[in-house]
Structure 1
Amino acid sequence: MKRVLITVFAAFIALTAAAQSPIVQAHLEPSHGILVGQPIRMVVTVYVPNYFTGSPDFPEFEIENAIVVLPQDRPANSNTQIDGVRYAGITETYVIYPQQAGDFHLPREQVTVPFALAPPKSTIAQVPLPALAFHADVPAAARDLDYFLPTTALTMQQKWSSPMKNLRVGDTIERTVTVTATKMQSMLIPPLSLDAPSGIRVYPEEPVIHDQKTDRGDFVYGRRTQTAKYVIQKEGDYTLPSIELKWWNLSSHRLVTATLPAVHFIAAANTNYVTELPPESEPAPIAPIRHRSLWKQYRSRILITSLCCIAVALLLAMIWYWLPRARRRLQAWQERRRHSEATYFHNLQRACTQNNAAESYVWLLKWIAVADPGVSLQQALKRADNPLLTSDTNDLGESLFAQRIQDYSWNGKRFAALLRQQRKDHRMHLSKHQYLNDLNPK
């Protein structure tokens, strides 16, 4: 009987702990009817009992044949009731752009969640993301195209360096064609054919692509610019062919054609025009051939060329060896600076000054995690021993996670000033402690 009671009690404890474990929920927007190139939002929400003791670490991942835009540190806070237990929530949103038709499966990555299972003690849990999948397709009307360009709006414009009048042989005209697609990355805009009839030489330049994004990384528009120079080599009556670009309208669900009309102009003769290849000159008298050693004739050139090749090879070897290391060091320095205590505190001060309670709470947790690793929010407040700071912190938490909406008196600017003073006092205390250690070495 005693053994049965022990087993039942252990099972009850296990079920209670499981019921109060973090919960991760995720869904796709939209979940079906997805087209290639269309943005898909994956909304991930982490719920924990009581409250968070740090910022959840949402994973970074890649999906084959898709572009994944990671969250940009602007989470949304919430709270809810699950089976009678109060849960606090933080939501992050990923944006996925499928690049070709087919099935896509999201990797089973894990979210690292610090939370207060038994306040004020902090607990860290690893919770996997739910298994999600979607299918991207191309409409039947567009499957015969060499490309697929889905967007809500597309414009195609062109401009010329000079008017298409009074042209003569030898004149050069520059043509610039710009294609802009709304909520679309520029790499999906196909190249345009800037052809010309016989008698005109075309010199195309490298295309320029540009993506305009929001602060969250969403595409506002993609733009492709192509430029070419037309050199008139013969007089005549010319017509440059029209340019067409087919795209799929996401609003009307039909295939649309953007067109630049054909361009007609007349080129007159030019007696002053000199062709690119001048006429051959009269052949010079041939001097008698005298046999000479190739080494003596080209010795200096061979030596100089050899030295130059060796120098270039050494330079390339040095670049090959040092450039990746320098790049990794720069990236590591930028990453350390981005996650430094000073940067986190600056972001916290900015959020408080803007009176943004949600961002202030997130940056407060991140700053404490960097400034005092392993210390929870409650432990940090206890060390600070500042009643005003503790009161304002509680007001901040209540304004975000209270079950009922009330008129709380949390003031972001006052909270920012208290944090600055606390940080200054903490640094002075550390400096004084270090000074005493230097005076009294062990």
Structure 2
Amino acid sequence: MTNIIIICASALLSFNAAALSRVTASVNENPIQLNESVDLVIAVDDKVDSDAFDFSVLESNFRLLGTSVSSETRMINFKTTRITRFTTRLMPKKAGNLTIPEFSYQGISSNPISLQVTQNASSTDDNKRIYVETELSQNDVWLQQQVTYTTRLFLSVQISSGSLTQPEIEGALVEQEGKDKEYDKIINGVAYRVIERTYKVIPQRSGQFSIQSPVFQAEVVENARRQFGFNRTKTISRVGPDQTLNVKAIPNHYVGHWLPSEMVMLNSELEPKQQEYYVGEPITRVITLSALDVSEEQLPEINAQYPADIKVYPDQAEVRTNLRGDQYISQRVETQALIPSQAGSVTLPAIEITWWNTKTEKMQTTQVDAQTINVVANPSMASTPTQPAQIMTPPAPNQADTELSNSAEPDTQDDRTLTPASPAPVSAWSLNYLVILFVSLWLITLGGLLWVLFNKQKDKSDVGHVNDHSQSEKLAWSRLQKACQKNQIEQIQTQLPIWVAAIYQTPIATSHQALAQLDNPNVNEQINAMQASRFSPQGNHWQAQALLIELKKIRQTQLTKQQPNTHLAKLNP
């Protein structure tokens, strides 16, 4: 009897488990027209995690426009049912019969769906009323060379609401530049309202990439169809043509800080400008580095080796980017206070910046020539009186010294006269000490030069890989840090996957993948709070300081792991 009860209970539990794991898939419309979106709904009779399904398997035929997860719990006649729904908006990439594959959860799978995508005359007419254009300023660029991406939305119908997404560019930093431009334009006799949006794109990886167009979704007012006295609306989606970006890698023979640009200028000015400068009074040297179509973070530090008779007090460098016409000019301004310590002709050193000319595809050097200034004594500084040299009287010789002197020198007692005492000669021990000191310093200097040359050769052989990764990570982190400091939620969402991909050196395309790679509960908590603040009716003002602190900890840990082994011998206590 007991065995029968156990078997029945097991069968009942198995039935309930199967029922709770039922998975169904459906779409809200079939067939659909090309350039229109469809909602795919996956329903599971259970409470499941938000990452239970991987919708990336649909990317070959569809654009994924976002996924939302909802759950509900019902109790009817003491029977509890739980349902979790995953709603993913899809936009077909082509016309034809497209298959949505099955999705599985705990061994239970949904049925595949055959979706028919048509392109007929009505769809073509709709595309003439609303369409999107995309444009790249250049299709062939070098790694980290800035390029401009422009999106234009053309509207000739009335819409009640609409949204335009950001372009999807794998392995690149993307930032919207300025505000949208709006203007009217007549095309083939049709009046359009044009909305133009411009983005700065800085590729962080070499290779060929396809830039997917932003997606425009809107509710179009249909004046011909009215219901209960109100105009009905129709949901439409539009995409523009994809663009191809070819990113060339850093040349193997390039040495130094990677700076790709069409034009680089270097300028140096002295303030005040005069013929002579006084000892002890400061001279301000302003050095300005300007480059075309690069980000301000890409500009290198300006280094100069000054002579020993000049003290240098550098100020914090200023960086800025300005838009002139359709090109960006980034500048780095370094201000130095120079104080000469002695009079005479003083030569300020020349400054050189190595860069890559993207037009001629050659390595170039831009420099500021050395400059000689005349430094004279400062009349306002009181001269210090010179103290007369004191004549040191040698101590009276002892008996042993007298005997040694008498035995070594001829007898000159009769010819002795009183003469001033001469300085005592330097001992042989002091000379030997100085020789040993100078030889030791020379050996240390020689060893240091050999070490520097060895590391330069090693860096030169690894420049293609090391520069690519380290500079990409620094730029990505700079963008993400700036977005957190300014509390820019949209930019944080965009820059987080790019930085995670750079710091972990692994392909990351979405914020979800970035969070999975970080696997940090504190970061997940901050991102969830950030997302909730965007739609909170109470207007919850989320701040990114806590998120930035957690990301800094992760970055420090990861960079420490990536530090090369220096092979130093262990130190004995």
Give the TM interval when normalised to the shorter protein.
0.3 to 0.5
TM-score when normalising by structure 1: 0.47
Bigger radius of gyration among the two: 2
Taking structure 2 as the reference length, the TM-score comes to 0.38
